[in-house]
Amino acid sequence: MNSLPAPRERLVIIPTFNEIENIEAIVRKVMSLEPVFDLLVVDDGSPDGTGAKVKALQTEFPDRLHLLERRGKLGL
């Protein structure tokens, strides 16, 4: 039996660096859009806590909000 959720067809990717002041509003806005999107936040090692904020938001959107934390500012 396969217990994995069905993949969604749409993925929004948001690259971040030091976006602690903006990331919650951005996440909430994307999550409110129709049709339903998955959201991948790619954080380039923000020292301001952006990644930690996204992790906290993942409790509200556990199956739709994903985080990739990179060690440094690597760009796209």
Is residue 76 situated within a structural domain?
A: no
Residue 74 has pLDDT above 80, yes or no: no
Is residue 6 situated within a structural domain?
A: no
Is residue 38 situated within a structural domain?
A: yes
**What would the pLDDT profile of 6-19 be if each residue is shown by its tens digit?**
566 789 999 999 99
| pTM (2 d.p.) | 0.82
Taking the C-alpha atoms of residue 34 and residue 71, their distance in angstroms, rounded to an integer, is 33
* 19: containing domain: 11-69
Is residue 5 situated within a structural domain?
A: no
For residue 37, the Cα-to-chain-centroid distance in whole angstroms is 11
Is residue 75 situated within a structural domain?
A: no
Is residue 4 situated within a structural domain?
A: no
Structural domain total, the chain: 1
Can you give the pLDDT at residue 57?
98
**What would the pLDDT profile of 21-58 be if each residue is shown by its tens digit?**
999 999 999 999 988 889 999 999 999 999 999 999 99
